[in-house]
Structure 1
């Protein structure tokens, strides 16, 4: 039997919704058809739902987080993720909305890296300059297999993919799983695991773009308050490749160690980094570094709705991106036209272009030493 915690009572104390001690609440997991690719390949939608109004929909195409429903302080539930209603649009108009990114999230300069003295060339798919988010046909453009789906105190969906040796230029056969979990406390966990038969590089994340007012809201997401516990970030060149420097955030528009409105720095043309990124599109070097268990990487709050998102990760960096390349040509959910600033991405990961910077934490993965990244999207409500 499911015990439902009264939502308004929880809000009256300004607390995140949590399980009462000893309760027998359970989260549900279900699956449904989601259409077919042009070649007839069947696609599915997996849905995880808890008793507090939080639910997540995951597509087998790209192991994509398609929607994330969350209640606000008024009890109204809204989808806080930019994206598409129809899986066909993820195929025909890819823009990384909520996808699983791999093999390597973010940019690699000129698509080149060297491993054990051997040079590798990846597809150059970022303005014909860099390899971006795996290059070519990345993990976001693959159909993933559903390994398991189950309800319980924590609902769970496990998806798997095999990337063959040489896939998009990367060495080694890579067996990958992505595990989504949802509990009654509003924690949506995402675990990325991979094992290889040859030395390779791996850097996986989720590319969700958030608007805590609800996707498509006319005010966009730039009024959100953001906190990132990082005293340094990695500046970039004109092609958005890190220079290798770890630059202190103090005194700059990149200082989010205390809560700040995102809008306050996004148009500051006096900062060349903002000019290069057309806003924020930068890796923040988290003070915590690489950790065994997920720790706080960012806290995003929408003062209007009271919705709060905390992003936790085991990885040492988080890419902060303000949707700068959304130019009004992307028609998303419910016919909403997405523009710059309509959403905010907070992507936990290794640093961009780390294979080409000896001072960055290595993204190398070897046989017998699997890759693991655990991240959490933690939803709560502030009164």
Structure 2
């Protein structure tokens, strides 16, 4: 298998509504297939050829070691009395280190773990919820080791990622045929889960991982150019403020309330209702909420009995009382036209929402299922406004703000384990027309 051979993950035959293709290169969601009402949708944009991700960067890939933008240069970091130096390398403009540096996690090949190379960052209790690795078809666990000094980041960091499909609750599996769903019914089709774990061998290092995936719930309909736009799709983000940034999109250390910038007040209306001139490219901090699932935990707690997966693997469609420690959803994306809805939950503090504003249709390729030729630089690539990129991670460059010292600082010491999860529930409601 090469870096660009897709790994297909599927649900059991009783719930064939959801499947994903994962590339080892960049741990990329190359395709996310949803079957609903007799149609097959691919709900993420991107190139037709898996190798297109080399140049069509940051399209559904993992981002690391550090998501988004930090200023270049040397930064002294400290957490709980442990100090180190990070030297952020330039790869955007003249001041910015973007998405981990020139050769970030998106550009590297991840290794799928097997019984011969078992996970080291998931416990016996957690793995017991999943089929054995030797027969796994609905999930994969992938590993990448980033050496000390990689892109200027201190410490050797080992990262393992679980990507899993979760079937809907048993009572929801009866929907298989088109036209059988009542217009008022909303059906659970399954869930996509990713869990990031990381550990550094010494000292302290910045860590802020995310999946840079871009959604379009109508592009596969191919019934007009308007289906390429996400402006008619609905979005909810449970946020009360956005990060204020300078001309180079670097965090300047304060927030803007969404009540004073109402184009950022996303409460289920269409994305295009108050669409800014340059589109959306903003970090939304979630409103205050209770999150019991930690973002990191002491390594002394990493015992065979530790179990942070039990609740996040509960099938969708079950009663809210069975959510356990899972927080409430924070983002919804839906389409009245396709009937598809995505409901996201996470233990991260916010989400970056980018509407693909800088897309250039003369470059890259558009998937055939989205009406493109699939040919690179053929002139029919994705135009601006054709995706809702939803990147769940912690506050931009949080380790540079003294107010976060020893708290939510996006730093990880060698006596801690990083734990980041995002779950996407996929639902369908028969369109009215």
Distance (Å, rounded) in 1 between the aligned partners of 2:142 and 2:284: 29
Q: CA deviation at 1:265?
A: 2.2
Is the CA contact 2:4–2:25 (under 8 Å) kept in the aligned structure 1?
Answer: yes
Distance (Å, rounded) in 1 between the aligned partners of 2:85 and 2:109: 29
In the superposition, the TM-score normalised over structure 2's length comes to: 0.72
1:133-282 pair list within 5 angstroms: 133-148=99-114, 149=133, 155-185=138-168, 186-198=190-202, 199-214=204-219, 217=222, 218-219=225-226, 220-268=229-277, 278-282=278-282
Instruction: Please tell me the root mean square deviation across aligned C-alpha atoms, in Å.
Output: 2.0
Q: CA deviation at 1:150?
A: 5.8
Q: Structure 1 pair 216/323, CA: closer, same or farther in 2 (3 Å)?
A: farther
Give per-residue Cα distances to partners, 1:32-61, cap 9 Å, x unaligned. x4xx5xxxxx54321111223211110011
SS in 2 for 1:66: strand
Task: Find out whether 1:325 has 2:358 as its counterpart.
Answer: yes
Task: Find out whether 1:103 has 2:65 as its counterpart.
Answer: yes
Distance (Å, rounded) in 2 between the aligned partners of 1:239 and 1:147: 39
Is the CA contact 1:231–1:255 (under 8 Å) kept in the aligned structure 2?
Answer: no
Q: Structure 1 pair 77/289, CA: closer, same or farther in 2 (3 Å)?
A: same
Q: CA deviation at 1:291?
A: 4.6
Q: Structure 1 pair 366/240, CA: closer, same or farther in 2 (3 Å)?
A: same
Q: Structure 1 pair 98/307, CA: closer, same or farther in 2 (3 Å)?
A: same
Distance (Å, rounded) in 1 between the aligned partners of 2:290 and 2:246: 23
In the superposition, the TM-score normalised over structure 1's length comes to: 0.81
Task: Find out whether 1:371 has 2:418 as its counterpart.
Answer: yes
Q: Structure 1 pair 107/53, CA: closer, same or farther in 2 (3 Å)?
A: same
Count how many residue pairs are aligned between Structure 1 and Structure 2. Answer: 332
List runs of 5+ in structure 1 lacking aligned partners. Answer: 1-32, 37-41, 269-277
Is the CA contact 2:31–2:43 (under 8 Å) kept in the aligned structure 1?
Answer: yes
Deviates further, 338-347 or 247-256: 247-256
Give the counterpart of 2:22 among 55, 58, 69: 58
Distance (Å, rounded) in 2 between the aligned partners of 1:188 and 1:321: 20
Distance (Å, rounded) in 2 between the aligned partners of 1:112 and 1:263: 40
Residue matched to 1:23? none
Distance (Å, rounded) in 2 between the aligned partners of 1:86 and 1:351: 33
Give the counterpart of 2:94 among 128, 133, 136: 128
Is the CA contact 1:216–1:342 (under 8 Å) kept in the aligned structure 2?
Answer: no
Q: CA deviation at 1:256?
A: 3.4
Residue matched to 1:83? 46
